[in-house]
Structure formats: C-alpha cells, structure tokens
C-alpha cells in the first residue's frame, strides 16, 4: 500500500501543478500530460485524468490551447483506438469556448481522432457529439460542428447521414453569420466526402471487425463498392429539388425550399448500410448541397460569400466536369462580378484550380471570358491576382499540368512550383492522364517542324494568341505597381509555351519595359525568372537592358531591395556567363562587402561563398583574392569572415 502511494506521489504533484495559480507552472504541467498518463496507466487515465482535464476548461486561453494540442496525442495512453472516445468530452467543451484559436485547435484534434474510432464508436460517441455541437445554444459550438460533418458522414449508417444533412441545412440558414461562414467553408469538403463512394471503417483494437459492424454488412474503407440504383421514392423526392443555376437568386431559394420540404416528407434513407451509394450520394449533392451553396453565394455577408467561393473547387471535383458545367458555371460568373472585390480576388486566386477541376473542354469553352474579365477588373487587387495566374491559365488551356515546364522542343522539363498551389490537379489529371500523354506525344512528333519555325505549343492556340496575349499587352500600361509586379512574375513563364519567334515579337518588348520600370519589385521579378527566357531566346536580347537594371537595384536606397538582388547574383552569373560576370558584376559584389547595413554585408559574404562553390577555388584565387588584397581595412575584416565560412564549406 505504501509503495503504491509512493508511485502515485509524483503524479499527485503534477496534478497539483495543474491546479496551481501560476500560469507558467500550469502550462508546464499540461505539456507533460502524456507523462502523467503513462505513469497512471490507461484505466486511471480514463477514469481520473480525463475527467479532471474536462473540469479545467475554465482557464486561460493559452492553457486551453496547449490542452487541446495535447489531448489529441493521448490515444495510446488511454488504451488505444478502442478507447479513443474517452478523449471526446474535454475536446467537446474546448470546441465551444469563445476564443477562436482554441476552438480551431480542438476541432483539429477531433478530426484527428475520428479515424481512430471504430464504426460502432463513431455512431455511439462521435455522432452524438456532433449533434450536441450543431444544436448548441451558442454560435461557437455550432461553428465548430461544421468542420466535423465530412469526417462523420462517411462513417455512419444511411439514416444517420440523413439526419446530418438536415442539421447542415439548419446551420446554413443560421442567423449568425459566423455559422453560415463555417458552413460555406466546409461545404465543398463534405461534397467530396459524399462523392468518394466508399465508407471508412476503423478496425477495433484487437484487429478484428466488431460484431455489430458485421451485422450491418459494412465493408472496409479500402474495398470498392458496387453502384446500386436509387430507390424509386428517393428519386421522386430528389428530383423535386433539381434546379437550374441560370435562374434568378429568388427562384433558386424557392427551389431550395421546395427541395427541403420534399426531402423532409419523403425520407428514403431507412437502410442500415454503412456504405456510400455513389448514385444516391451524387443525387444528394445535387438536390441538397448545391441549393445550400447557391444560398450561401447569395448571402448578404461578404465573409460568407468569400468562403463559399473557396468551396467551388471541391464542389467541381465532387460533381465532375459535365455536371459542374450545368450547376456551377453561372455561380462562377456571379462570383466574378460580385460586388465585393475580396470575393473577386478569391475567384482570381482559385481560377486555375477551377479550370483543372472542371476539365479542358469546359475551361476553353466557358471559363475564358470570366478570366478576361478578371484581368480587366476595376480593382487593382483583382487584376494583380489574375495577372499572377496568366502562365498557369495558359497551361490549363493547353491541357498541361500546371507544375510542368516546356522547353523549346515542347517537351516536359523541370517543375516550376512558383505557380498557384493547385490541390485539385491530381484528381482531375488522373482521369485525363491518357489525354495529356497523347498531347505530349503529338508535341514530340512535331518537335522537328516546330524547331525550324521556333514556335511553341501555344503558338497555334487561338485563345492564347488572340485573347490572352492582347490582354497581357494592355496591362503593360498599368499604373498600379502590384499589378505590374504580379505580371512580371508570371509572364516570363509564357516564353516556353509560345516559342522563340513569338516571344521576341510579343513578350520581349514587355520584358524590356519591365526591366526599365520605376518600381524595383517589378525589375526584381523579371530578373528572378530570367532562366525561363534565356532557355528560349537567349540572354543576348536582354543584356543591354539587363546591366543597367542590375546596377540600379544594387544601388537602390532601400536596403531590402539591395538584399534581394544579392540573392539572385549566382543565378545571374550562371545565365550571363563567367566572362560577363567577371567584367561587369564582380566589382558590384565586392562593393556590398562595405555596405552600411550589416545584413547586406552578411549577404554579400554568403553570395561570394556561393559564387566560389559555383566557379571553384581557381576563380577565387584569380579574380577575387587579388581584388580584395588591394582594398582597405574593412575589406580584410569582411574577407576574414568570408575565408572562415568558405573553408568550413570546403572541409564539409
């Protein structure tokens, strides 16, 4: 008995620290929760520690934030996935607190715990938790509930899914804008979960399926399910909710209401099946999710509409190109003309992802006018977002992956990750890989002819040549620096697409104008992407204008501009050639060693290290060391620093 008391003493001390008045002591103890749980063992952790943590919810936000982080890691300490549900009570309380950061971290932990639940535990513990949050008195709990629909929906039986969709409809009409915004942000994610066509099931702790799962004939998440036809009464109910996106906003809402009434009267979901029927779920997306999306896109609150636009990509992925054209095109057009410039900025930022999700045909036939409108938007911020996407937009029009580059023979080369982060590329391109391969094969077969004419793949594309390039040229007279900077960062990527001749004819004048631009950021963006132009037309066309631009940036009064050009010197040395660099730029590199700003001097040393790594020690001995030897005292100090770093790198 005494030995057991001795074992529990350190744990008691830590628990007392959790109750202490000192904030830092409580934080330290919270971060050691896993140690406490390990010492207590699974049973005492579930019966004593977790209830205690649930009672400590009324604490400082910093403590609650750390607590939410730690609870999500305790599954191994409560007995494994079989007892993961014991961690839900404190997280449920944290998901309803007032502080947004704490709620978000608690929701993140809940989503992380969801896969650890067996299907039985999901229905018995996790699904009721979602119900309680969705019907909470405070908007905070209802907001948190919106993020859990997509993780619960595929893991419960059909009748429970119908209840979840009913909760979702109520939340989409919630009087609190924050709740509607949360629904809008997660609507696309839920549609994707519904369209997967598979149900996920977590095995129990001993590795066997629970007997209750077997009774319902549910299959494992990794097994494929066969498509079955929708029940007749289900089709009648769902068809009443079908609508055309071309109607006015009030008509949409009317149809939405009709769909809801019809769905409530005729609930077709009476099966205990845990699997997702692809046809049935797709019909629910059309009759329930899309009407909710229409409602949210028309919401009076800007923040709600903004979040709704964010979900367009996932909705398009869930529906597929054909149905997306029917249900989403008009909504995309509406978003491009939204009264809020922030909403239009989101559309411009997501545009290439929308292109990829909706497919090549829809992109070329329906989406082009929307992008052109964004390029000429009245707000400079919108034009800047759109201008930054011209390269990715052109690639989508050609059916190419956004992260693939093309050289002068129109073959794929290194990936360029500077374009938009396209999370939807994989899903659509998996279905279109055969088409892309055929396009690349045809390009390779024609490479000899194209090489003779120095033309690229896009040179024969009417949309790019007759619409995109004129739109880009019109932006060269842009007065807003953000637009010019975004355009300079993206436009150089078009050179490999249109080939040498057309680059010289259409893009070279723009490059030269940007190199002489008054704004240093515009000039920097051109220089940073110089490699793409050099591989197509060579550096000779830019050399005359390039050197003055480099000198102006190197002597710019703003030290951050000087710092930026230093970082590009190794790239410039490689592109311009060693002879040009030795004759024109080495003195510039040495001048930075005695700059008044320490950060510049430090960067100059690092630059010289990189140049020595690139050109070798022979270059350093022949060009760099003699020049430093003729300089003053400060040069020797900086050079000593340089030698220390240099020899350290050589030794490594």
pLDDT of residue 358 exceeding 50: yes
Nearest alpha carbon to residue 255 among 266, 244, 268, 267: 244
pLDDT of residue 453 exceeding 80: no
pLDDT of residue 481 exceeding 70: yes
Cα–Cα distances in angstroms (integers) from residue 110 to residues 93, 189, 461, in the given order: 11, 16, 49
Cα–Cα distance, 577 to 575 (Å, whole number):
6
Q: Which residues lie closer than 8 Å to 518 by C-beta, 6 or more apart?
A: none
Give the CA angle between residues 214, 216, 218 to the nearest 5°.
Answer: 70
Query: Dihedral of the CA atoms 277, 280, 283, 284 (nearest 10)?
Result: -80
* pLDDT tens per residue, range 484-494: 888 888 888 88
pLDDT for 201 equals: 41
- Tokens for 421, please give them: 């982060």
C-beta separation of 307 from 143 below 8 A:
no
pLDDT for 6 equals: 54
Q: For 463-468, what is the mean pLDDT?
A: 92
pLDDT for 221 equals: 32
Backbone angles phi, psi at 8, to 5 degrees: -80, -10
pLDDT for 215 equals: 35
* pLDDT tens per residue, range 64-92: 898 899 998 999 999 999 999 999 999 99
Name 406's bridge partners.
412
**What does the mean pLDDT of the chain come to?**
76
Least confident of 142-156, 548-562, 609-623: 609-623
Query: Dihedral of the CA atoms 106, 112, 117, 119 (nearest 10)?
Result: 100
pLDDT of residue 617 exceeding 80: no
pLDDT for 383 equals: 95
* pLDDT greater at residue 106 or residue 619: 106
Least confident of 133-147, 148-162, 372-386, 492-506: 492-506
pLDDT for 212 equals: 36
Q: For 574-580, what is the mean pLDDT?
A: 82
Cα–Cα distance, 482 to 468 (Å, whole number):
19
pLDDT for 413 equals: 31
pLDDT for 326 equals: 92
pLDDT of residue 634 exceeding 70: no
pLDDT for 508 equals: 85
* pLDDT greater at residue 604 or residue 315: 315
Cα–Cα distance, 387 to 374 (Å, whole number):
9
Cα–Cα distance, 209 to 145 (Å, whole number):
28
pLDDT of residue 108 exceeding 80: yes
Cα 474 vs. chain centroid, distance in angstroms? 30
Q: Domains of the chain: which residue ranges?
A: 1-116, 117-202+232-339, 555-652
Residue 12, Cβ density class (10 Å: 0-12 exposed, 13-18 middle, ≥19 buried): exposed
Backbone angles phi, psi at 412, to 5 degrees: -70, 140
C-beta separation of 357 from 317 below 8 A:
yes
Q: Residue 297 — left, alpha, or beta (φ > 0 → left; ψ -120 to 50 → alpha)?
A: alpha
pLDDT of residue 615 exceeding 70: yes
CATH architecture of the domain with range 555-652: Alpha Horseshoe (1.25)
C-beta separation of 288 from 259 below 8 A:
yes
Query: Dihedral of the CA atoms 186, 188, 189, 190 (nearest 10)?
Result: 90
Q: Do domains 1-116 and 555-652 have the same CATH topology?
A: yes
pLDDT for 185 equals: 94
Q: Which residues lie closer than 8 Å to 378 by C-beta, 6 or more apart?
A: none
Cα–Cα distance, 321 to 393 (Å, whole number):
17
* pLDDT greater at residue 258 or residue 90: 90
Q: For 209-223, what is the mean pLDDT?
A: 34
* pLDDT tens per residue, range 582-604: 888 888 888 888 888 888 888 88
CB atoms closer than 10 angstroms to residue 568: 17
Alpha helices in 328-463 (DSSP H): 329-336, 341-358, 360-362, 368-375, 380-387, 390-397, 425-445, 447-453, 462-463
- Tokens for 636, please give them: 């020797």
pLDDT band at 219 (very low <50, low <70, confident <90, very high): very low
pLDDT for 54 equals: 84
* pLDDT greater at residue 257 or residue 133: 133
Q: What's the pTM?
A: 0.72
Question: Following DSSP, what letter does each residue of 190-218 receive, concatenated?
Answer: HHHHHHS-----B--TTSS--HHHHHTT-
* CATH 1.25.10.10 for the 1-116 domain, yes or no: yes
C-beta separation of 144 from 108 below 8 A:
no
Cα–Cα distances in angstroms (integers) from residue 578 to residues 266, 340, 392, 573, 574, in the given order: 77, 51, 33, 6, 7
pLDDT for 385 equals: 94
**Which DSSP letter does residue 9 get?**
H
Q: For 488-504, what is the mean pLDDT?
A: 85
- Tokens for 45, please give them: 């952790």
Cα–Cα distance, 575 to 563 (Å, whole number):
19
pLDDT for 200 equals: 39
- Tokens for 561, please give them: 């501009």
* pLDDT greater at residue 113 or residue 441: 113
pLDDT for 29 equals: 80
Buried/exposed code over 178-198 (b: 16+ C-beta within 10 A; e: otherwise): bbbbbbbbbbbbbbbbbbbbb
pLDDT for 95 equals: 92
* pLDDT tens per residue, range 178-203: 999 999 999 999 999 998 743 334 43
Least confident of 134-148, 299-313, 413-427, 487-501: 413-427
Residue 339, Cβ density class (10 Å: 0-12 exposed, 13-18 middle, ≥19 buried): exposed
pLDDT for 648 equals: 52
pLDDT band at 60 (very low <50, low <70, confident <90, very high): confident
Q: For 397-410, what is the mean pLDDT?
A: 62
Q: Of the ranges 280-289, 424-433, 627-636, which is most confident? A: 280-289
């Amino acid at each position: 008995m005494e030995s057991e008391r001795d074992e529990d003493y350190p744990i008691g001390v830590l628990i007392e620290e959790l109750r202490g008045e000192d904030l830092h002591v409580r934080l330290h103890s919270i971060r050691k929760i896993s140690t406490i749980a390990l010492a207590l063992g699974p049973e005492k952790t579930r019966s004593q520690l977790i209830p205690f943590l649930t009672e400590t919810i009324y604490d400082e936000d910093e403590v609650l934030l750390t607590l939410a982080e730690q609870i999500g890691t305790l599954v191994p300490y409560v007995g494994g996935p079989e007892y993961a549900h014991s961690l839900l009570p404190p997280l449920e309380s944290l998901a309803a607190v007032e502080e947004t950061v704490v709620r978000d971290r608690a929701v993140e932990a809940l989503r992380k715990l969801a896969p650890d639940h067996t299907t039985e535990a999901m229905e018995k513990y996790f699904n009721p938790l979602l119900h309680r949050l969705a019907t909470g008195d405070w908007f905070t709990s209802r907001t948190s509930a919106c993020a859990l629909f997509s993780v619960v929906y595929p893991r419960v039986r059909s009748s429970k899914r119908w209840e979840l969709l009913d909760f979702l409809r109520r939340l989409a009409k919630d009087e609190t804008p924050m709740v509607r915004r949360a629904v809008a942000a997660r609507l696309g994610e839920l549609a994707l979960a519904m369209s997967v066509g598979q149900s996920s099931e977590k095995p129990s702790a001993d590795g066997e399926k629970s007997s209750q799962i077997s009774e319902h004939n549910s299959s494992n998440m990794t097994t494929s399910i066969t498509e079955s036809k929708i029940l007749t009464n289900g089709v009648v109910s769902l068809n009443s909710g079908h609508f055309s996106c071309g109607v006015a906003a009030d008509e949409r809402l009317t149809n939405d209401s009709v769909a809801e009434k019809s769905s409530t009267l005729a609930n077709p979901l009476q099966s205990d099946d845990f699997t997702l029927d692809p046809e049935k779920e797709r019909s629910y997306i059309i009759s329930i999710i899309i009407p909710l999306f229409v409602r949210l896109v028309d919401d009076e609150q800007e923040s709600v509409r903004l979040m709704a636009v964010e979900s367009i990509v996932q909705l398009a992925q869930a529906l597929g190109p054909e149905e997306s054209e029917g249900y989403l095109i008009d909504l995309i057009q509406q978003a491009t003309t939204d009264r809020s410039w922030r909403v239009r900025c989101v559309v411009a930022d997501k545009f290439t992802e929308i292109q990829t999700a909706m497919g090549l045909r829809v992109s070329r036939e329906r989406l082009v006018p929307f992008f052109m409108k964004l390029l000429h938007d009245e707000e400079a911020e919108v034009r800047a977002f759109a201008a930054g996407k011209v390269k990715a937009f052109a690639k989508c029009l050609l059916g190419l992956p956004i992260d693939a580059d093309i050289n002068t023979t129109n073959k794929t080369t290194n990936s360029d990750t500077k374009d938009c982060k396209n999370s939807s590329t994989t899903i659509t391109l998996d279905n279109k890989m055969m088409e892309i391969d055929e396009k690349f094969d045809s390009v390779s077969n024609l490479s000899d002819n194209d090489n003779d004419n120095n033309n690229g793949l896009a040179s024969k594309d009417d949309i790019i040549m007759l619409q995109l390039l004129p739109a880009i040229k019109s932006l060269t007279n842009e007065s807003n620096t953000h637009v010019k900077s975004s355009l300079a960062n993206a436009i150089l990527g078009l050179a490999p697409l249109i080939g040498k001749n057309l680059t010289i004819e259409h893009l070279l004048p723009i490059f030269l104008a940007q190199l002489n631009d008054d704004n240093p950021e515009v000039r920097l963006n051109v220089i940073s992407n110089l490699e793409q132009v050099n591989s197509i037309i060579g550096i000779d066309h830019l050399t005359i204008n390039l050197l003055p631009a480099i000198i102006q940036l190197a002597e710019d009064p703003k030290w951050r501009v000087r710092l930026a050009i230093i970082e590009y010197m190794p790239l410039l040395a490689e592109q311009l050639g060693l002879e040009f660099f030795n004759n024109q730029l080495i003195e510039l590199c040495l001048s930075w060693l005695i700059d008044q700003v320490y950060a510049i001097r430090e960067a100059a040393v690092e630059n010289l290290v990189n140049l020595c790594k690139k050109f070798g020690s022979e270059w350093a001995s022949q060009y760099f060391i003699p020049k430093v030897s003729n300089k003053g005292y400060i040069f020797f100090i900086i050079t000593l620093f340089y030698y220390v770093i240099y020899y350290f790198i050589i030794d490594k």
